[in-house]
């Protein structure tokens, strides 16, 4: 996956947009509630499940976003499955 930290856009390796990340609440991962999935947490403010992208394939994330375009994602700039990019025209 590729992530542009300037535009907060997450892409597949071949350049397809997965999601533009935007959270007005910006809660710390440790402040989110547990779920049945150890790679997801629950936000008590917006009531959405937040999925940690470090533990998902880009195909899994595309499926999550296709099923629920309002789903929330967590991205860590240092995760192993992420490459930083500074262009949105991949």
- What's the domain count of the chain? 1
> What long-range pairs does 40-47 form, CB within 8 A, spacing at least 24?
41/74, 43/72, 46/72
Residue 62, Cβ density class (10 Å: 0-12 exposed, 13-18 middle, ≥19 buried): middle
Query: Does residue 90 sit within a domain?
Result: no
**Domain annotation covers residue 18:** yes
Burial class (CB in 10 A: 0-12, 13-18, 19+), 64: buried
pTM of the full structure? 0.90
* pLDDT by residue, tens only, the chain of 90 residues: 999 999 999 999 999 999 999 999 989 999 999 999 999 999 999 999 999 999 999 999 999 999 999 999 999 999 999 999 998 875
Range(s) of the domain holding residue 56? 2-84
Model pLDDT for residues 15-40, shown as the tens digit of each residue: 999 999 999 998 999 999 999 999 99
Residue 38, in any domain of the structure: yes
Does residue 89 belong to any structural domain of this protein? Answer: no
pLDDT score of 28: 93
């Amino acid at each position: 996956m590729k992530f542009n930290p300037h535009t907060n856009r997450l892409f597949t390796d071949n350049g397809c947009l997965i999601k533009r990340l935007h959270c007005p609440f910006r809660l710390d991962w440790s402040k989110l509630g547990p779920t049945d999935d150890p790679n997801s947490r629950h936000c008590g403010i917006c009531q959405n499940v937040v999925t940690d992208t470090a533990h998902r394939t880009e195909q899994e994330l595309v499926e999550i976003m296709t099923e629920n375009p309002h789903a929330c994602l967590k991205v860590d700039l240092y995760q192993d499955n992420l490459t930083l990019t500074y262009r949105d025209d991949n």
